[in-house]
Amino acid sequence: MTNWFISASFRQGKNRINIPITACTPKKYGGYYRHIEVNLSNLQNITNGSAAIVLKAKIITNVYLGDAGGKVPFIATRNPDGTNRNDSDIIPTIIHEAGHKMGLASDGTILDKTPDYYNQRTRPGYGLGPHCFKPNDCVMYGIANGFLEFCGDCKKTVKKVDLKSGI
């Protein structure tokens, strides 16, 4: 399965190191390839400090606008037909996925469970994973609703998040 890979690189300051496809392994979760494990053990000249992994990949089926299930949130910048998504479409996705990384739409195991919590098992067809079921009021509702803000319940929950160590 190599038709998904375009390129990958490790970036730290001015240092750019290409990562081969053999170091990038797609992982299935819930029947879908939703995460990519990147092995950096063979890279040279890596030092402690902040860095980034830049991964370019093709999404063939089951296109997601975003996914926050792994350590690094994924945001799709292209539509299924290959055209670029507009900023007005991408920005709500970034806010939505950041909300997931902060623990919003939790089942109660991370943060308080919001009154309108649902997941794919309780309301199929409204987005995979946990979400807030306020379709006309919350960026945490389902998929691509266009909202830029959290509803009142999610706002109360996000105020309890300790962001000292990042999201």
CA dist 111 and 57 (Å) reads: 32
What is the mean pLDDT of each successive set of 10 residues along the chain, which is 167 residues long?
78 90 80 76 83 79 62 72 81 86 75 72 57 83 80 84 68
Angle at 74 between CA 72 and CA 76, to 5 degrees: 165
CA dist 133 and 156 (Å) reads: 16
User: What residue spans define the domains of the chain?
Assistant: 1-61, 63-162
pLDDT tens digits along 69-106: 666 677 777 776 678 888 888 888 888 888 888 878 77
Length of the chain counted residue by residue: 167
